[in-house]
Structure formats: structure tokens, C-alpha cells
Amino acid sequence: MEEVKYCSERCRRNKV
């Protein structure tokens, strides 16, 4: 999961 390395605004909303 390298995407978590640069958790962007849209990534943060998807992770939550």
C-alpha cells in the first residue's frame, strides 16, 4: 500500500 505514503485529500476521504 504505497498510496498511504502520500495520502492526499481524496485518499484521506477514501481511507476514512
Q: How many CB atoms lie within 10 A of CB 1?
A: 5
Query: Can you give the pLDDT at residue 10?
Result: 80
Query: Can you give the pLDDT at residue 8?
Result: 77
| Ordered alpha helix ranges (H), 1-16 | 9-15
Query: Can you give the pLDDT at residue 1?
Result: 55
Query: Can you give the pLDDT at residue 3?
Result: 59
pTM tops 0.75 = no
Tell me the pLDDT tens digit for each residue of 1-16. Answer: 565 667 677 877 776 6
